[in-house]
Amino acid sequence: MTRRRTIITAAILAGTLGLTACGTNREEGEGEGGGGTTAGACDTSKGTLIIGMVAPLSGGLSALGLGMRNSAQLAVDQANEACKVPGYELAFQAEDDQANPQVAGQAATKLASDENVVGVIGTLNSSTSQTVQPILKQEGIVQVSPANTGPALTLGENYATAPARPFDNYFRVSTTDLVQGPFAANYLVETAGKKAIAVIDDGKTYGANLAEQFAQQAQKKGAQIVAREKVGERDTDFSGVITTIRALNPDAVYYGGEYPVAGPLSAQLAAAGLNIPLMGGDGIVDATYVSLGGRPGDLATSVGAPAESLPSAKQFLDDYAAKNFTEEYSTYGALTYDATNVVIEALAKALANGDYSAERRADIVAAVQETNLQGASGEISFDEFGDTTNKVLTVYQVEGDSFAPVEGSTGAFEG
Amino acid sequence: MLSTLLSQIVNGLVTGALIGLIALGYTMVYGIIQLINFAHGEIFMIGSYGGLAMFTYLLPTAIQNQWYFALPLLLIAGAAVSVGVAVLMERFAYRPLRNAPRLAPLITALGVSVALQEAVRVFYPGATAALPFPKAFVEGTWEIPVPGGTVPLRWTGLLIIVVALVLTFALNTFVNNSRMGRAMRATSQDRDVARLMGIDPDRVIVLTFVLGAALAGVAGVLNGVDLGFTNIDLGFQNGIFAFTAAVLGGIGSIKGAVAGGFAIGLVKALGGQYLPGGTAYDYVWIFVVLIAVLVFRPQGFFGETERVRA
Amino acid sequence: MTALEKDVVTEPGPAVEPRGRLAALAPYATALRAAGGLLTVIGAYLPWATFVLNEGPYPEKATLEFFTAPFGVSGFRLHLLVFGIVALVLAFVRTLPSRGRILRALGWGIVAVTVANGLYLTVLGGGFGAITAADGAVAFGAIVALIGGALVLVGAFAGGLGEQLRWGRPLGRYAEWAILLVVFTLLLLLVAAVLTSGGQGSVANPYSGAVFLSFLGAVGGLLAALHAAGVLTWVTAMSERHRAFSAIVLLVVALALPLTGAGTQYWMTVAANIGVYAATAIGLNIVVGLAGLLDLGYVAFLGIGAVVAANFSGATAARFDIVLPFPLVMVISAVVAGIFGAIVGSPTLRVRGDYLAIVTLAFGEIFVRSSQNNIGGLTGGSNAIPGIPPVSAFGQAFNEKLTVGSVELPAGALYYFLIVVIVAAVMAVFGNLKNSRLGRAWIAIREDEDAARAMGIRTGPVKILAFMIGATLAGLAGAFFAHKTGTVSYESFRFLESVTLLAAVILGGMGTIPGAVLGASILFVLPEKLREFSDYRLLIFGIALVLIMRFRPQGLVPDSHRRAELAPEAEPPPPDPGTGTATGKVAVQ
C-alpha cells in the first residue's frame, strides 16, 4: 500500500518534472570558446581581471553588505559593456566577512593570493578593515572602502595629534567621523540653534565614534550635552533611554548609528512626548527610515552634494533599479558604486601603457591616488592620507516620507 | 525625580508584560518535558512576521486602517504561524529526542533557533533589514499626570499589559480547571503514570507547545504594533530575557512567569536609569540577576522547593 | 581491537542477511550489482551537459563524447569510472565476504558524485534540459550514472551486506612502522588534495564548489569502502599499538602540510584559524565532553586571552605600555583566562544541567557587553584593539614568507607551525588528563554526579578544575589569535561563536582527542570551500546541528568507551535528579 503510493507519487513527480522543467538557460548567439559571457563586442583577448569585495553578505548586517555587492556588480557590468579597460574582461568577486574581523582576514587572504585581483572594495565595518589592510598591503593591492569611517584607518592611531598614514594602498570615499560629526554639530548648534542636546549611540564603531566627535564639537560651539546614552544592538524598545533623557529636557537628540534603530527611536521619542528632532549621520539616510518611524523634521548629514543636483547620482539610482536586484542598494550603494569606479578608472589608466601583471599593482595604487572622478556622490579625489577630498556634506531633513536636502546647507567642514 | 521613576516603572511594566507572555511558553514546556526551548524566542519573532505577512499580503486594503478589524486578524495570523512552526518543530526536532540524554535536545534547540532566524531572513521578502509594522491600534500616548510632571504611557503599551494579564488569567484557569489542563499537570509530574491513567502524553506535549507558541505569536504581533517595526533579531534577546523571567518566577509556574517578566522589565528599566554604567549596562544587570537567582534561589519566587521532575 | 584476533573472520557463504524489503530481489543481486557497475561506467563516458554553460565550460569536458578517448577521462568522470569498474568486478568476486558492504559504500559514493555534479549542472544550466536533452543535444550521463549508483545500492542490500572484514594479525614492529608511515603520508596527501580540489573559487573558476563537493563524495565513498574492507580498522588498531610513534609521525605530517599543494598563504591562514578554534574546542571538550558540563559562553575565554595578549602587545590602543615577549604573554593570557574559568565555573557548585548552561551563556553575554563598552579601558570598546604586531622570532616576522635553503615557505607558514605545536600540546594535555585520576573523576561526574560523590570524588573542586583547565587552554589560543588576526574586537566573541565551538566538539565526537580538531576543521573548511552558499551558511549550520543530534549524536569519531551523554541508549535515561534544586547538597568537602 504505502510502497505503491510511493511509486505512484514518484512517477507523477518525475512526469511533472519531465514535462515542465526541461528547459535550459542557454544564452543564444554564444560563441564556442573562452567563456566570453558578455554579449558585448569588447576585445577581451588578454583575459579576466578581478575586482574583489569583502563585506558582510550573511548575518545581521547583510542588508548593507548585499546592497554594496549589487552596486559594485553594477559598476563592473557597466564597465564591461563600455569596454572601459581595453583588452580585458572585468569580473567581480564578493567575499563574505560575516562582519567578523577574523573571517575578513581570511577573505582578504583569499583575494590577495589571486594574481588577477586588481583591487578590493570594502569593507563595511572599520574593525574588519583593520585586519584586511595589512594583508592587502603585503601584496600591494589597492583597497577602496565605501563605508569605513574610523579616522585611524587613514590617519593612524594618533590621528588627533600626529596623523601618519599607515597604509598607502588604502583609500576611502566615505568621510571620517572627524568630518561628519563636527559638521552635524555646527549645523545643529549654530544653524538650528539647539543648545541642550542628548547624544545616543549604538555602541558600534561607526555610531560610537560619530557620536563622540559630534559631542566634542557641539560642546565647543557652546551647546550642552545633557545626556550620553547607549542603546543595545538588539534592543527594540528604547523607552528606558528615552525616559532618562526626557527628564533632562533636551531640545534635540543626536543619534550615532544606523536607520534600523534610528527610525524606531525617533517614533518612540515622539510617543514619549518628546517632539524634538533626531539627527544622525549618513547611516540613517535610507528610504525606509521614515517607514520605520522617522518623523518630519528629523535631520541627517550625508556625504556630497544632494543627489538631485547631480545627474550622475540620478543615473545610478535609475541603473540600479533597471537591474532588478532583489536587495535595496541601501546606505552605502552609491558610495560603493563610486569606489568600484575609482578602481576601474585607475585600472584603465594604469594599463593604458602595458599589459597587466601582479607587479603593476603599484601603478594602480598610484593611479587611484590621482583619481579625479565625477561619481554618484560627487567629485572624488584623494588627499595625501587616502581620504576623500570631497569633504562636502549636506544636511537633509525629512519632508513627507523621505529625506530632502536643506537649502543652502551643503558645504565643507572647516573646523 | 518622581516622574522619571514612575516613567521607568511604567516602561518596565510594558517590557515585563511582553516578556511575561513569552516566558509562559518557556515555563510550560520546561515544566512538562524539562527542555529549555531555546527556539521559543524565534517563535515569538516568527509570530510578528506572521502578522506582518497577513497585513501585507492578505488583508484587504479597505480594512487595513481600521484597527478593530485588522488587529484581531493580525493576532490570529501571528498566533497561527507561530503555532504551525512550533508544532512542526516539536514533531521533527524534539519528539525524536524525547528519551535522549539531556544535552541533546538543548543543542537541537540551539540549532532550531539559528535555523528559524536564518530561514526568515533568507525567505521572507525584505527581512534582511528591519521591516515596518502596521500600527494597528490607537496611536498616541496617555500622559498620566503626577506631581512634578507627567508619565507617558503608549496606548499600545497599555494594550500589551492588559492582554498579558487577561491571557495569563485565562491560561491559569485552563490549566487548573479544565480536563486537558489536569492532563498537562499530571504529565508534568510523571509522564509514565499519566500514560497509565489514560492520558496520551504526546497530545499533551503538543498542546503545551501550541499554547506557548500561540501566546508568543500574540506577543510578537503586539510588539510589532507597539514599536512599529519588526526584525529578525527580536527573538534571541527577548527569548533569553523571557527564560530569565521564567526561572525567576519559578519554572513551571504560570503566575511566576508573568511576575518574573515584570521583575525583569523593572530591572532593565530601573537598572539603566539608576545603576552605574547607565543604559549601556542594563542588559548586564539582567544577566547578573539571572546568575544570582540560579545560584541562590533556583526554585524562583513561586517554584516548589522539592519539585519532583519527570 | 586487540592483537588476539584471527586473520580473517570468514563467513559461511555469501548473502547472510538480505534486508527485509529487498529480500525478494536476492536472486538478482549479482545481476543488479553488475548492471549498476556497468551503467556507472557508461555514465562516466556519456556527455553530462547539453551545452556549454553560460558561466563557462563545466569541468571534465562535460559536453563532449568520450568514447573517442577512452583513456583520457579525468576528474569526477574518472572517479565514477573507477567506482563502476570496481563494483563490476566485485559483483562477480564471491569469495570476499564483505563485498556487500563495500558495494554499498561504492554505491553511495557514485550517488554522491552524480548528485553533486548533476545538481550543479541542472541549477546553473537552468533546468533539467541541461542534463537530459535540449536543442538537439543529448546528455544523459548524470541520469545513467545515478541509475547505476542506485542499482549498485539495491544490489548491495538485496544480496546482503555481510560482515565487516577483519584482518591483520600484528606484523613485526618495523613493518608496522613502515605501513603507518605510508598511511599517514597518504593521509597528508589526501587532506591536501581535498583542500585544493576545485582550486580557489573565484569568478574565473566558477565550478570550484562543484568539483570540491564531487571530490568529497568520491573520497567519502572511498573511505567508506576501505572501512568496509576492514582497512581502516586495521590501521587504527596498528596505530593504537604504536601510539607514541603514530603521534610523532602525525605531528611531522601536520607540519609538512605547507610543503604540499595546500601550502599557500590562503590555506595557511585558514589552517591557523582552524587551529585556534581546534585548541579552544579541545578546552571546551574537557568541560563538555569529559565533565559533561554544558558551556554556552565558552568563546569568552578565547576573548579574555586575546584581550590580555593585545594589551601587552605594544599596540597603540593597548592599555599598558609594556611589551612582553610572546611566550610570556601566552602564559599570562592562559593564567588570566584560567582564573576567569574558575569564576565562571564556581556556580557549578550549586547549579546543574541546563541551568548551568544558561549561567555560562549569561557570563558570555556579560563579557561581550562589557568589552563592547570598553570596560576598564581594556578592550578598546567599539574601536577594538587594532594594529597588534605579528609575532616575531630571530628577526623573522611570522606573517612573512620564509626561505629555508631551496624551500620557500608561504607567508603565514610560521604561524601555522606555531599553532600546530600549540594544538599538539593541548591535545597532549587533554590526552593525559583524560586517562588520569582527574579525568576519570570527570567522566564519573558526567555519568552520575551523585554516584561519583558517593565514591569519594570531591565533585566541587573537580568540576571547577574542569572549567579552569578548559579556560586556560582557550586563553592560550586567545594569545595566538590576537597576534595572528592583528585585531581584537568584541565582535569575534559572540554567542554564535560559542555555538560554533560547541558544534565542533559535538560534530567531531565528544570526549575524543581528534574529535574537536576534526569538527573545527570541517566547520571552517566547508564554508571556505563553498563560499557561493554563504547566504545559506547559517541556515545550513542550524539544520545540520538538528540533524546531527537526531542521527549521529555521538559525532563522527565516537568515544569508544563511553556510554555517553549523547550516545543513543536502549533505555530512557535515569531521571535527572534535581537540576537546579540542588540547594541542599552543596559542596560538602
Residues C224 and C337 reside in one and the same domain:
no
Residues C223 and C305 reside in one and the same domain:
no
User: How would residue C560 be classed by pLDDT, with cut points 50, 70 and 90?
Assistant: low
Whether A304 and A390 have beta carbons less than 8 Å apart is answered as yes
Residue-by-residue DSSP string for A10-67: HHHHHHHHHHH-----PPTT--SSTT----S----TT-EEEEEEEE--SSTTHHHHHH
Contact A37 C55 (CB under 8 A): yes
Q: How many separate domains does chain C show?
A: 2
Indicate whether A18 belongs to any domain.
Answer: no
Residue-by-residue DSSP string for B143-166: EEEETTEEEEEEHHHHHHHHHHHH
Indicate whether A164 belongs to any domain.
Answer: yes
Contact B4 A247 (CB under 8 A): yes
Contact B128 A239 (CB under 8 A): no
pLDDT at site A38: 46
Neighbors of chain B with 3 or more C-beta pairs under 8 Å: A, C
Whether C450 and C329 have beta carbons less than 8 Å apart is answered as no
CA dihedral A124, A126, A128, A133 (to 10 degrees): 110
Residues C31 and C177 reside in one and the same domain:
yes
Q: How many CB atoms lie within 10 A of CB C557?
A: 19
The CA distances from residue C452 to B101, C287, C348, C587, in Å, are: 18, 16, 15, 13
Distance of CA C122 to the CA centre of its chain: 29
Alpha helices in C394-512 (DSSP H): 413-434, 437-447, 449-454, 459-485, 495-508
Nearest CB to B228 within list A229, A243, A293? A293
Q: Is the pLDDT reported for residue C567 higher than 60?
A: no
The CA distances from residue A411 to A251, A394, A408, C431, C560, in Å, are: 24, 7, 8, 66, 72
Residue A97 sits at the chain C interface (C-beta within 8 Å): no
- Domain stops at, among C208, C243, C278: C243
pLDDT at site C571: 42
Q: How many residues does chain B have?
A: 310
The x, y and z cell numbers of residue A232, run together, are 543595545
- Region C1-6: what's the mean pLDDT? 40
- Give kind and range of the element (H or E) at residue C138: strand C137-138
pLDDT at site C99: 82
Contact A22 C127 (CB under 8 A): yes
pLDDT at site C581: 36
Q: Is the pLDDT reported for residue B310 higher than 60?
A: no
Q: Is the pLDDT reported for residue A31 higher than 80?
A: no
pLDDT at site C304: 95
Residue B2 sits at the chain A interface (C-beta within 8 Å): no
Residue B296 sits at the chain C interface (C-beta within 8 Å): yes
Q: Is the pLDDT reported for residue A98 higher than 90?
A: no
Indicate whether A35 belongs to any domain.
Answer: no
Closest-CA residue of A relative to C537 is: A58
Contact B229 A247 (CB under 8 A): no
Residue B278 sits at the chain C interface (C-beta within 8 Å): no
Burial of A349 (0-12, 13-18, 19+ CB in 10 A): middle
Q: Could you identify the residue written with the cell 544535552?
A: B103
What is the Cα–Cα distance from A303 to A259, expressed in whole angstroms? 16
Residues C361 and C232 reside in one and the same domain:
no
pLDDT at site C66: 61
Residues A107 and A206 reside in one and the same domain:
no
Instruction: Answer whether 0.90 is exceeded by the pTM.
Output: no
Indicate whether A6 belongs to any domain.
Answer: no
A262 CA: distance to closest CA in chain B (Å):
11
Q: Is the pLDDT reported for residue C430 higher than 70?
A: yes
Whether A148 and A303 have beta carbons less than 8 Å apart is answered as no
Chain B partners of C496 at a C-beta cutoff of 8 Å?
114
Indicate whether C363 belongs to any domain.
Answer: yes
Contact A130 C535 (CB under 8 A): no
- Mean predicted lDDT score pLDDT of chain C: 82
Residue C573 sits at the chain B interface (C-beta within 8 Å): yes
What is the Cα–Cα distance from A60 to B231, expressed in whole angstroms? 10
Residues C139 and C97 reside in one and the same domain:
yes
Residues A301 and A312 reside in one and the same domain:
no
Alpha helices in B90-139 (DSSP H): 103-123
Whether B32 and B26 have beta carbons less than 8 Å apart is answered as no
Q: For the segment C296-334, what is each residue's pLDDT rounded down to a tens digit? A: 899 999 999 999 999 998 887 788 888 888 999 999 999
What is the Cα–Cα distance from A406 to A303, expressed in whole angstroms? 13
Residues 268-307 of C with CB under 8 A from B: 288, 292, 294, 296
Residues A165 and A224 reside in one and the same domain:
no
A396, A296, A385, A380: which is closest to A343 by C-alpha?
Answer: A380
pLDDT at site A266: 93
Contact A260 B237 (CB under 8 A): no
Indicate whether A10 belongs to any domain.
Answer: no
Burial of A319 (0-12, 13-18, 19+ CB in 10 A): middle
A22 CA: distance to closest CA in chain C (Å):
4
Indicate whether C251 belongs to any domain.
Answer: no
Residue B123 sits at the chain C interface (C-beta within 8 Å): no
- Region A227-234: what's the mean pLDDT? 83
Chain C partners of A100 at a C-beta cutoff of 8 Å?
491-492
User: How would residue A23 be classed by pLDDT, with cut points 50, 70 and 90?
Assistant: low
Residues A143 and A56 reside in one and the same domain:
yes
B183 CA: distance to closest CA in chain A (Å):
34
ipTM passes above 0.95: no
Residue B150 sits at the chain A interface (C-beta within 8 Å): yes
Closest-CA residue of A relative to C263 is: A113
- Give kind and range of the element (H or E) at residue C560: none
Contacts of B251 (CB under 8 A, 6+ apart): B26, B27, B30, B31, B300, B303, C580
CATH of B2-296, one of 3.10.180, 1.10.10, 1.25.40, 1.10.3470: 1.10.3470
Closest-CA residue of B relative to C566 is: B101
User: How would residue B304 be classed by pLDDT, with cut points 50, 70 and 90?
Assistant: low
Query: Domain containing C454: what range?
Result: 264-393+421-559
The CA distances from residue C112 to C42, C46, C198, C220, C482, in Å, are: 17, 18, 16, 9, 40
What are the sequence ranges of the domains in chain B?
2-296
Indicate whether C589 belongs to any domain.
Answer: no
- Specify the range with the lowest mean pLDDT, choosing from B88-102, B263-277, C553-567: C553-567
Q: Is the pLDDT reported for residue B57 higher than 50?
A: yes
Q: Phi/psi of residue C393, each to 5°?
A: -140, 140
Residues A252 and A290 reside in one and the same domain:
yes
C413 CA: distance to closest CA in chain B (Å):
35
Indicate whether A230 belongs to any domain.
Answer: yes
Chain C partners of A109 at a C-beta cutoff of 8 Å?
265-266, 269-270, 412
Q: For the segment B127-142, what is each residue's pLDDT rounded down to a tens digit? A: 877 888 988 888 888 8
Q: Is the pLDDT reported for residue C579 higher than 70?
A: no
Whether C510 and C559 have beta carbons less than 8 Å apart is answered as yes
Whether A276 and A253 have beta carbons less than 8 Å apart is answered as yes
Residues C425 and C325 reside in one and the same domain:
yes
Contact B290 C358 (CB under 8 A): yes
The x, y and z cell numbers of residue A274, run together, are 518628546
Name which of C374, C488, C491 to mutate to probe chain A: the one with the most chain A Cβ atoms within 10 A of its Cβ. Answer: C491
What is the Cα–Cα distance from C430 to C502, expressed in whole angstroms? 17
Query: Domain containing A269: what range?
Result: 178-305+394-412
Query: The CATH number of the domain where C304 resides is what?
Result: 1.10.3470
First-to-last C-alpha distance (Å) of chain C: 40
Name which of B4, B154, B227 to mutate to probe chain A: the one with the most chain A Cβ atoms within 10 A of its Cβ. Answer: B227
Residue B293 sits at the chain C interface (C-beta within 8 Å): no
Indicate whether A75 belongs to any domain.
Answer: yes
Residues C309 and C445 reside in one and the same domain:
yes
What is the Cα–Cα distance from A209 to A228, expressed in whole angstroms? 13
Nearest CB to A260 within list B1, B130, B157? B130
Burial of A46 (0-12, 13-18, 19+ CB in 10 A): middle
Angle at C317 between CA C316 and CA C318, to 5 degrees: 95
Query: The CATH number of the domain where A270 resides is what?
Result: 3.40.50.2300
User: How would residue C578 be classed by pLDDT, with cut points 50, 70 and 90?
Assistant: very low
pLDDT at site A307: 63
Count B/C contacts: CB-CB distance under 8 Å. 156
B107, B115, B95: which is closest to B45 by C-alpha?
Answer: B115
Ramachandran area for residue C375 (φ above 0: left; ψ -120 to 50: alpha; else beta): beta
What is the Cα–Cα distance from B37 to A281, expressed in whole angstroms? 40
Q: Could you identify the residue written with the cell 597532549?
A: C428
Q: For the segment C77-109, what is each residue's pLDDT rounded down to a tens digit? A: 889 999 999 999 988 887 777 888 889 999 999
Q: For the segment A352-402, what is each residue's pLDDT rounded down to a tens digit? A: 878 888 888 999 999 999 888 888 888 888 988 998 887 788 899 998 888
Contacts of B189-196 with C-beta under 8 Å, sequence gap 24+, read: B189/B308, B189/B310, B190/B308, B190/B310, B191/B310
Name which of A212, A226, A237 to mutate to probe chain B: the one with the most chain B Cβ atoms within 10 A of its Cβ. Answer: A237
Residue A278 pairs in a beta bridge with A253
The CA distances from residue B123 to B117, B247, B309, in Å, are: 10, 34, 39
Q: For the segment B226-274, what is each residue's pLDDT rounded down to a tens digit? A: 988 898 888 888 998 998 898 888 888 898 999 999 999 999 899 888 8
pLDDT at site B207: 94
- Region A250-262: what's the mean pLDDT? 90
Contact C567 B101 (CB under 8 A): yes
Name which of C498, C502, C505, C581 to mutate to probe chain B: the one with the most chain B Cβ atoms within 10 A of its Cβ. Answer: C581
Q: Phi/psi of residue A200, each to 5°?
A: -125, 145
Contacts of B286 (CB under 8 A, 6+ apart): B241, B244, B264, B267, B268, B271
Residues A268 and A167 reside in one and the same domain:
no
Q: How many separate domains does chain A show?
A: 2
Contacts of B172 (CB under 8 A, 6+ apart): B254, B255
Nearest CB to B114 within list C365, C541, C568? C541
Indicate whether C587 belongs to any domain.
Answer: no
